[in-house]
Homo-oligomer: A and B are copies of this chain.
Amino acid sequence: MKKVKIHITLKEGVLDPQGKAVQNSLNTLGYDGVGEVRVGKYMELFIEDSADIEKQVEEMCRKLLANPVIENYDYTIEEGVTQ
């Protein structure tokens, strides 16, 4: 069993209204030092080990998890604990 950690973030230049809302809220709460905020997704997947696991994960990201038109993704594959 492998543990795959995936980060999905908006590409540079793509507007991030959710991040903007977080920034405004933080500023309103008195955290004036907060500048740009970008909000992304983080996923942990437990996957059975196989020879082509990296190819599989790459495919999953491209086909289902991220929208490659506006999002970047990166992942790390780690030894997972047995569940």
Q: How many copies of the chain does the oligomer comprise?
A: 2
Shortest CB–CB separation between residue A48 and chain B, in angstroms? 4
A76 at the interface (CB under 8 A from B): no
A60 at the interface (CB under 8 A from B): yes
How many residues from A make CB contacts under 8 Å with B?
Answer: 34
Interface string of A60-82 (1 = CB under 8 A from B): 10011100000000000000000
Please determine whether B37 and A40 come into contact, CB atoms closer than 8 angstroms. no
* With contact pairs A7-B42, A44-B40 given, residues A35 and B65 touching in the complex (Cβ less than 8 Å): no
Interface string of A18-29 (1 = CB under 8 A from B): 010010011001
Chain B residues whose C-beta falls within 8 Å of the C-beta of A40 in the assembled complex: 41-44
Shortest CB–CB separation between residue A6 and chain B, in angstroms? 9
